[in-house]
Amino acid sequence: MNSVSPAELSGLLDGELDPARAAEVLAMIAADPELQSLYDTFRRDDAGWRAQAASAAFLPRVRLPARRQPSTRWAAALFLAVLVAWVAGKLTDETWAFLLLNSLSLAGLTVAVFSGIAQRLQPAERMTESVGG
């Protein structure tokens, strides 16, 4: 056909060609009826795509996983193991007190951390519910 590729016609429509090349392509389009017809087809298609894109109302439908409550089972198991060992006489009073306080501290820390994470997720869940229904 000539030295103008379809990619250059598209680039001309999108304003991606440098000014010198855009002027050359426009001169070639004006001189060649076949190239003018192809360019008009591209321009019509481009206008249609732009109109469709402008009228599109994109509403994401994101579903977040259900919020899980913090689990303290492992801390309860540790506490129970310490209690059983103490009752069986395997621990001294000092060791028992140390392990008891640490297991309770770990359980409290776990609940605090997971509660904080759960509270940060709440606004996103509320937003998703209002958008997606």
Rg of the chain over CA atoms, in angstroms?
34
Instruction: Name the residue type at position 130.
Output: S
Q: What does the domain layout of the chain look like in residue ranges?
A: 6-55, 73-132
Q: pLDDT tens, 70-93?
A: 566 776 777 777 777 767 766 667
- pTM of the entire predicted model: 0.41
Q: pLDDT tens, 35-76?
A: 999 999 999 998 888 888 777 766 667 776 776 665 667 767
Rounded CA-CA distance 109/7 in Å is 60
Q: DSSP of 80-121, one letter per residue?
A: HHHHHHHHTT-S-HHHHHHHHHHHHHHHHHHHHHHHHHHHHH
